[in-house]
Structure 1
């Protein structure tokens, strides 16, 4: 990988804090800030000198789960969901061919908050349906080389069936890389084993993510080091496989131990590919080198789609010049899979005063869906071959109960049943709902309205779906591809509101697949009561049986051509209404400073989607402080309110249908 792409990642301590995260206040006692951060390490030996401000140097070889003080705040808890591939939303998308790996830097190596932060300016990825693997990209010679993904990202990805890999980055010497760190990584113990391979697998198991992306770019090695790296990779893959983890090799080091980016699968890196589950092919590829790579993978008995052809979008996003036909031709089978490097460009290229959530999602939809903003109607003149027009979307909506409030994992406020319970901007991807996989398929004979996530109002969380436009014909918006069993006791619920204009609302349900990719599912239309306030409507479904395969909404204007603004706040499919989840236990303050608290608790038995922490104020109102899927939480910026001497905090379990347990409480004396 070209060193010029490292500028941001290797800047070191100067970029230690995410935008919008205030510096930690002085604690009550002489101690470090209670703010937890995502973990990062060197393999074994540390750099000379002392770390910069806000940076902690750690040795992975010395790490033990039992000694990790932040493990409860950093360990993901959502299991990897099974996913299926419905009939594609796009007429040009393929199944069982190219897949997508995405390398994303969500923040700097150090100072990356473990559980979100008080800003909505965040790369809140939502197009999970098009991704197979996410790499938590980063690493810096001045901070650390081995990065464990933070829990909110893993929880969101797992909810959508996407694996998440940590990153092992051995940087070029020009950017501070030391060959000793490579030797540290591949060292063997007296028994001839690789202790760092075992440690990497133990970290992934303890933190709840799915394996590692290994990127060895420090030059100067020899054939002996090349052999040691091959042995290390074989052991890492073997140990990882026993824990259901995966390993990706980056096309950098060759068998002679030096670094030479091949831009291909060839004899120089073939042993590393065989010692891994897949390989990211460097950007130096050519049409010919990808063809030969695919053929070599075939001869080795491996899938050519285990090769991710690198597409660098860090600088130019959808304006990047890409020879798409070399990877995913339209008139022939795909050659390899796609590896996107730094698609968070969709956030980063926006001006600092233009990164409101709506601005980001407009750009992100353009990147993943294409200029038409509708995968069922791809724009053939668009130079950017958007992922939604290439690969089939996937879904994890396979069991009842299912519910979504269309929460994207960040927002300007926090809403509960349409009421604002916190006016503080926030991000926390672990609170993200399972989101529509095909955004946005809109079917109408009239003028297409705009369909977007909107952050000006919500039923629950931080966002709702807004349909906005002068409707002059009935308009259907596809929402979910599903595999939900339906029976006599199945209940469909829709929470919605009409802000402007007048529309007749119907819930559309299909129990069979569409006739072809991009075609309309065979919907049955179920009428829904509507009004100008948030309302949750139970929708009768007489006569439906089998399996619900698609869910949509249809809006028919009462006054065609008049402006309409209609919000979808929540959707649920359930059987009998379940009781509330069990409450957590042993809720306590585990650490305190002047304005920060850490909470811990014992998880509730049974199915719990996440936990919420509120503060009960002296006037009786409740303020949302945060939510998490973990069994610990950090809150900062606290102070006495309304003359109180002690603060009261409440913790609740939240179920899949957003029904909450009774609260458990704890007091903290100021």
Structure 2
């Protein structure tokens, strides 16, 4: 394909900000563009491309490398406010507060909710890859090719894109800290992927970048520990400034090298100065997590426990937590408990015992089922709360091994087969062998994260709105209408997903077998997928699907609950509420008697919660049952809202909607666009739509930010002008007034 032709801003005529009908029929077949971002190829963008480049990209690798004086000089010279690409990589989603634990409503009530989990991981792993092949016929043919770095980085440094060949994780509810791990270079300051920062923050998860093996030559003005004439740590300040600008919460610190002992105090002083600068900048969270490598004596020494050699990073070094190295067992856990008491540290909050899940299928070894590693976690955290927890747990690298293992288990090497194996495995990894976090672990089966960590939630007030979106799809829907036929992925627009995937049990005291629950990417109400409940259903096997952990006070004012769903004949749907004052029971509201609205193939049922005044909802469920004979059940869930009535007025038009730059391909059949606008903090997300000459529209993308790059907006026939609109949606799920502009081909 020929290089695109760059165009000047003055070739675009700004359109009026008129209100359009919110949703019109989908565009002409074959003329649909999906959301697209830059496809990272470990090299600078091609000439003429206007795709935003990852911050700090230089020398063919994305990010700021910090292992030489020259590279640190580049880091210090970088000013994101002057980088025209930087705005495309900012996370603008604030860190949500998590609700208090209610152990009686947990899937595993005996688990200590104070036990925490950190996940040091790559992001957006490709489902298929030639980076590694394992031949199960003889169990020996395993090789990592020289292309590993490029393949691992294929999606690592994009925010969103149009491929189906990518894994988007779905289990933030068992994590407390997420650290982005660079694909192939450990001497790097790695900014976390903003899509993952968005979804982490939405779920109350702290998101960290990574700093590895910096150049710390004493006295070098461009060394990691360099200070200016006033004593200011210039690199430390820059690192804090990057976190403030790009919207993440601190750094994972991986210093796997020895240093002169005098430098240890200087490193600690620099970390203290970073904390002070974060406070000056008004950052509510700035977290430093130390990796158990460099000791306070200056020697590289993996302690594998909390000891006098590494505890100083917590006591005097201004680090919040420590990620302990992997070679530990029960003796190291027990000695850490003793050491923590001596030092006055809370081990559950400060020490994470690392599990090297990346070790399966890496460095010349064939892949192994990484869920087997969970057995190791029983030393700091006895499974299912069978004994008091002693410390917390860190994972490295759950995302990579989820995909690597699943590639070997797939029915065939196709993307659909590997995707099915990956998401099936992912559910076992997090929810346990039964793929139900409340179910006991079968004899001989491997544990899951849900056997060690209590589920977390941020749903503590209204409005609560979810469309169950996983952050990917093979099409895109708005209010039940398909407005995009292209595949897409964007973890940053993932909804708050069900807390339990999937906690099923008999409906209303029945004793029948549970129906099956899964995500369905063949149809959606809004987004790329719905949730399906399916199987053989009869009077004896109604199923409760417990969906969300909440702490929503009904208070003295009325709230309403609405569910958008589809149900085939004979399948009855009810909304279930569990209250804090009766955490062991579900109170059912049949939707057959609710206020119903016909939305085409979907139905919206709304129920008044006024009768529950002054009670607090601890969990939300959906029940499916039948009064007739056994039949095939198919129920789809498209949207769930808990809100107060009367809060549904459309918000104002976005301000400043503009085309910063465009590029049209040589055939003049598609255009790249760089779009910007003013961020409104009352907006949940923005959708970008293109309108067709004969009516209809095509979805181009969604983001919770103020800048978006469209990689391929198609031209309809020989149209001379394309009308674009920016549609905001507020936190009540209500679309606002659109801003528009016209693009001239």
TM-score bracket relative to the smaller structure: 0.7 to 0.9
Pairing 1:156–2:199 present: yes
Residue in structure 1 matched with residue 613 of structure 2 by the alignment? 545
Distance 2:155 2:552 in 1: 41
User: Deviation at 1:184?
Assistant: 2.1
Distance 1:512 1:458 in 2: 32
Distance 1:467 1:26 in 2: 46
Within the candidate set 203, 207, 216, 2:255 is matched to: 216
Q: How many residues align?
A: 631
Q: Which moved more, 1:481-490 or 1:105-114?
A: 105-114
Q: Is the 8 A contact 2:156 2:183 kept in 1?
A: no
The residue correspondences of 1:83-162 to structure 2 (distance < 5 A) are 83-84=98-99, 85-87=101-103, 88-91=105-108, 93-106=110-123, 112-138=156-182, 140-141=184-185, 145-162=188-205
Residue in structure 1 matched with residue 641 of structure 2 by the alignment? 572
User: Deviation at 1:645?
Assistant: 1.9
Residue in structure 2 matched with residue 455 of structure 1 by the alignment? 521
User: Deviation at 1:291?
Assistant: 1.5
The residue correspondences of 1:77-476 to structure 2 (distance < 5 A) are 77-84=92-99, 85-87=101-103, 88-91=105-108, 93-106=110-123, 112-138=156-182, 140-141=184-185, 145-170=188-213, 184-217=223-256, 219-240=257-278, 243=283, 244-274=285-315, 275=317, 276-305=319-348, 306-314=350-358, 315=360, 316=368, 317-320=370-373, 322-330=375-383, 331-344=386-399, 345-351=401-407, 353-354=414-415, 358-381=420-443, 383-444=445-506, 445-472=511-538, 473-476=541-544
Distance 1:73 1:99 in 2: 32
Q: Is the 8 A contact 2:480 2:601 kept in 1?
A: no
Q: Secondary structure, in 3 states, of the residue corresponding to 2:251?
A: strand
Q: Secondary structure, in 3 states, of the residue corresponding to 1:320?
A: helix
User: Deviation at 1:241?
Assistant: 5.3
Within the candidate set 656, 660, 663, 2:731 is matched to: 656
Within the candidate set 571, 587, 591, 2:661 is matched to: 591
User: Deviation at 1:93?
Assistant: 4.7
Distance 1:510 1:635 in 2: 43
Q: Secondary structure, in 3 states, of the residue corresponding to 1:201?
A: helix
User: Deviation at 1:129?
Assistant: 1.6
1:147-189, Cα deviation, whole Å (9 max, x unpaired): 1122221111111111101111228xxxxx9979998222222
Q: Secondary structure, in 3 states, of the residue corresponding to 2:224?
A: helix
1:511-545, Cα deviation, whole Å (9 max, x unpaired): 33555xxxx43424333369993111112445222
Q: Is the 8 A contact 1:127 1:368 kept in 2?
A: yes
Q: Is the 8 A contact 2:41 2:154 kept in 1?
A: no
Q: Secondary structure, in 3 states, of the residue corresponding to 2:313?
A: helix
- The alpha-carbon distance between structure 1 residues 246 and 348, as it changes in their structure 2 partners (threshold 3 A), is same
Q: TM-score, normalised by structure 1?
A: 0.87
User: Deviation at 1:141?
Assistant: 4.2
Residue in structure 2 matched with residue 43 of structure 1 by the alignment? 66
Distance 2:227 2:266 in 1: 9
Q: Which moved more, 1:617-626 or 1:501-510?
A: 501-510
User: Deviation at 1:253?
Assistant: 1.1
Pairing 1:525–2:600 present: no
Q: Runs of 5+ in structure 2 lacking a partner?
A: 1-35, 57-62, 125-151, 361-367, 408-412, 665-670
- The alpha-carbon distance between structure 1 residues 182 and 456, as it changes in their structure 2 partners (threshold 3 A), is farther
User: Deviation at 1:393?
Assistant: 1.2
- The alpha-carbon distance between structure 1 residues 133 and 23, as it changes in their structure 2 partners (threshold 3 A), is closer
User: Deviation at 1:103?
Assistant: 0.9
- The alpha-carbon distance between structure 1 residues 63 and 24, as it changes in their structure 2 partners (threshold 3 A), is closer
Distance 2:310 2:115 in 1: 21
Distance 1:240 1:298 in 2: 30
1:554-582, Cα deviation, whole Å (9 max, x unpaired): 11124343221111111111112421122
Q: Secondary structure, in 3 states, of the residue corresponding to 1:197?
A: helix
Distance 2:574 2:437 in 1: 23
User: Deviation at 1:124?
Assistant: 2.1
Distance 1:112 1:179 in 2: 31
- The alpha-carbon distance between structure 1 residues 635 and 584, as it changes in their structure 2 partners (threshold 3 A), is same
Distance 1:548 1:383 in 2: 34
Q: Is the 8 A contact 1:136 1:165 kept in 2?
A: yes
The residue correspondences of 1:4-43 to structure 2 (distance < 5 A) are 21=39, 30-37=47-54, 40-43=63-66
- The alpha-carbon distance between structure 1 residues 430 and 349, as it changes in their structure 2 partners (threshold 3 A), is same
- The alpha-carbon distance between structure 1 residues 97 and 538, as it changes in their structure 2 partners (threshold 3 A), is closer
Within the candidate set 538, 558, 561, 1:489 is matched to: 558
Q: Is the 8 A contact 1:412 1:425 kept in 2?
A: yes
Q: Secondary structure, in 3 states, of the residue corresponding to 1:528?
A: helix
Residue in structure 1 matched with residue 135 of structure 2 by the alignment? none
Distance 1:390 1:379 in 2: 12
Distance 2:567 2:494 in 1: 24
Distance 2:629 2:398 in 1: 39
Q: Which moved more, 1:460-469 or 1:638-647?
A: 638-647
Q: Is the 8 A contact 2:40 2:153 kept in 1?
A: no
User: Deviation at 1:96?
Assistant: 4.1
Distance 1:286 1:436 in 2: 34
Q: Secondary structure, in 3 states, of the residue corresponding to 1:627?
A: strand
Distance 1:102 1:24 in 2: 25
Q: Which moved more, 1:110-119 or 1:571-580?
A: 110-119
Q: Is the 8 A contact 1:477 1:553 kept in 2?
A: yes
- The alpha-carbon distance between structure 1 residues 23 and 332, as it changes in their structure 2 partners (threshold 3 A), is closer
Distance 2:713 2:373 in 1: 45
- The alpha-carbon distance between structure 1 residues 665 and 183, as it changes in their structure 2 partners (threshold 3 A), is closer
Q: Is the 8 A contact 2:49 2:663 kept in 1?
A: no
1:486-516, Cα deviation, whole Å (9 max, x unpaired): 25532211100025x521111112333555x
Q: Which moved more, 1:373-382 or 1:659-668?
A: 373-382
Distance 2:180 2:235 in 1: 19
Pairing 1:608–2:661 present: no
1:267-317, Cα deviation, whole Å (9 max, x unpaired): 222222322000000001222112112221222222101111001222242
Larger relative contact order (CA 8 Å, sep ≥ 6): 2
Q: Is the 8 A contact 1:34 1:592 kept in 2?
A: no
Residue in structure 1 matched with residue 3 of structure 2 by the alignment? none
User: Deviation at 1:71?
Assistant: 2.6
Q: Secondary structure, in 3 states, of the residue corresponding to 2:611?
A: coil
